[in-house]
Structure 1
Amino acid sequence: MQYQAINLNEKLSELNDLWSLKVIGEMNDYQFKLIKIAGEFEWHSHEETDKVFMVIEGEMIIDFRDGQVKISKGEMIVLPKGIEMKPSAEKECHIMLVEPRSIVNNDGTESELTAANDTWI
């Protein structure tokens, strides 16, 4: 087996499109995904799984029906399943997500923001 560190900045430099998740690693049935965001995503929820957002660069906001949270560089949040959310960022923000392999970014609601699943960089 070959052991090699994953350089997050190198992987992020390969991302060109906003809101396009790319897998950089797996652990059991969970994937580590990188994404660049700016502007607003759509309201959605993940009924089957919790979700982890870790901000690597910038700042993001997640709106909920009953509040809002701001997550800055070096911070993370764990959201329980079933919570309706709307992620956004005023300026480009770089994020790592941890979620099960089968999860689609907007819980399967087809739109122009639906990202291809299980795409590696």
Structure 2
Amino acid sequence: MKKVNVAEKFEQFSDHWNPRIVGELNGQQVKLAKLKGEFIWHSHKDEDEMFYIIKGKLKIEFRDKTIELNENEFFIVPRGIEHKPIAEEEVHVMLFEPATTRHTGEEKHRLTNNKQEFL
């Protein structure tokens, strides 16, 4: 058992769209990521995905609407729903998702990383 300092973890990396695993519980992984620019359209067939904004503002586009998340807000993207995160400025985000979640779902892209490292 150990505590995790989220700010210290964010200081350990600078790349974007490459989540790091910082904890696990009940088959779920807690991940931290820095986001900047546009990600790709994708969905997760069998898993919900939670975005919790630590720093900055994140837009998540859906085919029929866009939501904006500010610091200290979170949103759960339901399984099977196609979405595209967009960060106009750098965003620090905490993700909660099942360990089985593939980074870009069934999509293959240069940003896809299904072998995320532990910090």
Normalised TM-score (structure 1): 0.94
CA contact (8 A) 2:52 2:74 kept: yes
1:87-108 residue CA offsets vs partner (Å, 9 max, x unmatched)? 0110000000000112121014
Contact 1:103 / 1:117 at 8 angstroms: preserved in 2?
no
2:14 equivalent in structure 1: 16
Correspondences of 1:19-98 after superposition (within 5 Å): 19-98=17-96
Shift of 1:70: 0.2
- The number of equivalent residue pairs is 119
Partners of 1:39 and 1:18 in 2: CA distance: 9
Q: Offset at 1:15?
A: 1.7
Distance apart, 1:62 and its partner CA: 0.2
In structure 1, runs of 5+ residues without a counterpart are none
- The alpha-carbon deviation at position 78 of structure 1 amounts to 1.1
Over 3 Å counting, the alpha-carbon distance change for 1:48 and 1:42 in structure 2 is same
| Runs of 4+, deviation exceeding 2 Å | none
State which of 112, 115, 118 in structure 2 corresponds to 1:117. 115
Percent of pairs with identical residues? 37
- The aligned counterpart of 2:98 is 100
Distance 1:44 1:50 in 2: 13
- 1:111 Cα deviation after fit: 1.2
Measure, in 1, the Cα distance between the counterparts of 2:12 and 2:28: 22
Contact kept? 1:108, 1:114, Cα under 8 Å? no
Q: What's the counterpart of residue 6 of structure 1?
A: 4
Equivalent pair of 1:104/1:117 in contact (CA under 8 Å): no
Structure 2 SS opposite 1:89? strand
Give structure 2 stretches of 5+ with no counterpart. Answer: none
AA paired with 2:68?
K
